[in-house]
Structure 1
Amino acid sequence: MQTEIKKVELRNLAFEDYKQLKNSMVESYPEMANNYWRSTDIKKLLKIFPEGQLVILVDGVVVGSALSLIVDEKLVDKRHNYRQIVGDYTFSTHNPDGEILYGIDVFIHPNYRGLRLGRRLYDARKELCEQLNLKAIVFAGRIPNYNQYSKKFTPRNYIEKVKDKELHDPVLSFQLSNDFHVLRIIKNYLEGDEESKEFAVLLEWNNVYYDESPKLINSEKSIIRLGLIQWQMRQLNNVEALFEQAEFFIDVVSGYGSDFALFPELFTAPLMADFNHLSEAEAIRELARHSDPIRKRFQEFAISYNINIITGSMPHLENGVLYNVGFLCKRDGTSEMYYKIHITPNEVHHWGMKGGSEFKTYDTDCGKIGILICYDVEFPELSRLLADEGMNILFVPFLTDTQNAYTRVKHCSQARAIENECYVAIAGCVGNLPKVNNMDIQYAQASVFTPSDFAFPSNGIKAEATPNTEMTLIVDVDLDLLKDLHEHGSVRILKDRRTDLYQIKKT
């Protein structure tokens, strides 16, 4: 390596680079002295796929390169060798409409190894794969140290020992450190590769941003805007007064372009004032008569304000059984009901509520979401199952009377965001209802929580409302950050679970 380097440059290959490219390649593969690209090969590659041919220069001299084709996924799935993948050096396998970026060569001049220049080439390949909306990068990597162990280990054993870092292979160890994973072993891949005993390892890097069927309209967004409503408990004369107040907030958050409006748990409780002469259990059953009219009106709001509305929760009677439910009213006019699964001792004692038995993720125009009502978020199994179904955002409408009750909801919600690598949005009621029994006081602070990694706030809190004050909280969350976290985070909680030892499943 040179004692001093003035400039490193990564760019697309030009035909004028050929002489320097050849010299570096010959130095990189001394064991295959005659196995270098001819000028006619480079000319063809630059004609059919110029953006896929990369070089790295040190002080103006080509010291490394990465060459690629785009091929059909079915070609990769077949058993193949190097000659077949490059179309017997005609590159006829290149298909601009293919799904896979196939690496046909990568090398760094031995004098410049140890500077992580190979990593730069691979990062540029990954960026190209994302820009072209290709499904993955695939290539067959040599295992040049295998010849030293071929009498002792099978190729599979050798690969496992390299993966476990018991052995080092200059090519395979590098690829694994760059987030490539092994697909399979290929026999007789590259003729004359005695170091690898003509074995190769088919490796893959998945593009987490790949969109199989990109749309010009109605495509899923990566930036989602959440509108959280910190609802003030106040006297309401009738259900129309509730609709008027709710519509005011929906108008506000939709006016800011929100994709979701989240109401709190039991925000309809002020309507129980008319039934305060009854027992608590009777009063809440009278309130349950409003659940269907509320669902219908909120469906209308969702359409007219072009926003997905999560109606917090309200009591609901089914065959004489009282449940705590809410409705996801989508802006396409459809709606789905969700249940509170875990009922608090207070809800059982005063109201005789029962827990629901169905929970799932919901498909929206902003991806998959989950909804858990208050106490449910304190049971980690539920949100883990939703995460396994692909949930990106968990909404938690809640109602807490004291600050210590709110603390349980808050910290459990933060834990769910970290352990499930998702966003968690919570919204509750504030104020008091002196004329409604068992609904005396409320404490809340609407918040949006995030995973804990470099792309997110260091305290895991995206935004918080002012405690105990009626207001809205408008927050943007980026789903692409979650995709990157799942694959390349400092820790990968969902991927690193020991499912060989333990699993959680629905019964």
Structure 2
Amino acid sequence: MSHSFVLAAAQFPTLKPENWSQFEQTIADWVAEAVRQHARLLVFPEYSSMVLAGLLPEPMQADVLGQIGEIQRYRDDYLALHQRLAQRHGVYIVAGSYPWEMDTGVYVNRAWVFAPNGGMEHQDKRVMTRFEREEWDIRGGAPLKLFETELGRFGINICYDIEFPLLARAQVEAGAELILAPSCTDTLGGYHRVRTGCAARALENQCFTVQVPLVGTAPWSPAIDVSHGSAAIFGPPDRGFPDNGILVQGGLNDPSWVYAEVDLSRVGRVRDEGEVYNHRHWHDQLGPGIEARLPEVTPVRL
């Protein structure tokens, strides 16, 4: 197992592809660029798959409810594309999350993870935003997962999920040293809420966290019409990490990759030698004889 690797977080733009081939080439070009920078783990944002709605007839592009059903026609190709790229380049890819139909008219927000060996697994978002609940009727999925890979162990908290500490805590107690937070936020306030959640989870768990935003404007889309953010990789503001906890941060709303060398062995060191022991003192906040029930976590090997 390699503890140190280059992580690439995509500030991916809300482009409008003219056809499937153009979308496929765009994703292939982004992956190839990150590979040239020696990235081993590539992470795309929440709902970056929604650019595929630009391939639908114009009336459907404006139908915020109908389009999530219509883009199911692309999902098999979407999986095959990312699986092929992960194998071709020998990397792990977290694809942009997809409104995934479980039963007729029942959707979850699903992020797929692809491994160099052709394996793939997924994490569903657990806590839905008002937009997802009230306008899309997208539902929370289960269970939480711990992804065990050649690079190390990580969890995924999709956007709003990172604002709820017990989700990341459950994954950390299961062994996660890194929490990925693909995001899609249509206001600067939303972006900063996710950012604050990432920084807080890194602090309290003494681990790495990563915010990965969708960026840009898409006037043709009622779902991803405005997306704000900048990618950032956080650690605890403690010994061996930057004083502000920020390893790297991208430019606001600038389509680009943001890279950082992530050494997961630093997680164990700061938990053993830090100025404070947030990770091991977690249960002290509850008081004697009191336990907080954490969500169950399912380990998966990729």
Same fold (TM over 0.5): yes
In the alignment, what sits opposite 1:299?
83
SS of 2:27's partner is helix
1:222 lines up with 2:7 in the alignment: no
Tell me the CA shift for residue 255 of structure 1.
1.4
In the alignment, what sits opposite 1:248?
29
Give runs of aligned pairs for residues 413-424 of structure 1, distance below 5 A: 413-424=198-209
In the alignment, what sits opposite 1:282?
66
SS of 1:428's partner is strand
1:505 lines up with 2:290 in the alignment: no
- Using the size of structure 1 for normalisation, the TM-score is 0.55
* Matched residue type, 1:409: V
The answer to whether the 8 Å contact 1:237/1:271 transfers is: no
- Computing the radius of gyration over CA atoms, which structure comes out larger, 1 or 2? 1
Mapped partners of 1:378, 1:288: distance in 2? 29
Mapped partners of 1:491, 1:448: distance in 2? 21
Q: Deviations over 1:332-366 (max 9, x none)?
A: 11000110111111112221111102111111111
The answer to whether the 8 Å contact 1:226/1:474 transfers is: yes
SS of 2:65's partner is helix
Mapped partners of 2:201, 2:165: distance in 1? 7
Give runs of aligned pairs for residues 46-195 of structure 1, distance below 5 A: none
Q: Deviations over 1:155-187 (max 9, x none)?
A: xxxxxxxxxxxxxxxxxxxxxxxxxxxxxxxxx
Relative distance call for 1:350 and 1:239 in structure 2 (3 A) is farther
Give runs of aligned pairs for residues 215-364 of structure 1, distance below 5 A: 220-273=1-54, 274-278=56-60, 279-320=63-104, 321-364=106-149
* Matched residue type, 1:263: F
Mapped partners of 2:257, 2:45: distance in 1? 12
Give runs of aligned pairs for residues 33-48 of structure 1, distance below 5 A: none
Q: Note the aligned Cα RMSD (angstroms).
A: 1.4
- Using the size of structure 2 for normalisation, the TM-score is 0.92
Relative distance call for 1:503 and 1:437 in structure 2 (3 A) is closer
Give runs of aligned pairs for residues 404-443 of structure 1, distance below 5 A: 404-443=189-228
Specify every segment of 5 or more residues in structure 2 that has no aligned partner in the other structure, as ranges. Answer: 297-302
Q: Which has the higher contact order (CA 8 A, sep 6+)?
A: 2
SS of 2:48's partner is coil
Q: State which of 182, 189, 192 in structure 2 corresponds to 1:397.
A: 182
Tell me the CA shift for residue 233 of structure 1.
0.9
Specify every segment of 5 or more residues in structure 1 that has no aligned partner in the other structure, as ranges. Answer: 1-219
* Matched residue type, 1:352: D
The answer to whether the 8 Å contact 1:367/1:392 transfers is: yes
Relative distance call for 1:353 and 1:292 in structure 2 (3 A) is same
In the alignment, what sits opposite 1:366?
151
* Aligned length in residues: 288
The answer to whether the 8 Å contact 1:275/1:283 transfers is: no
Looking at secondary structure, tell me which structure has more strand per residue.
2
Tell me the CA shift for residue 275 of structure 1.
4.4
In the alignment, what sits opposite 2:300?
none
Q: Deviations over 1:39-94 (max 9, x none)?
A: xxxxxxxxxxxxxxxxxxxxxxxxxxxxxxxxxxxxxxxxxxxxxxxxxxxxxxxx
SS of 1:260's partner is strand
In the alignment, what sits opposite 2:167?
382
Tell me the CA shift for residue 276 of structure 1.
4.3
* Matched residue type, 2:220: K
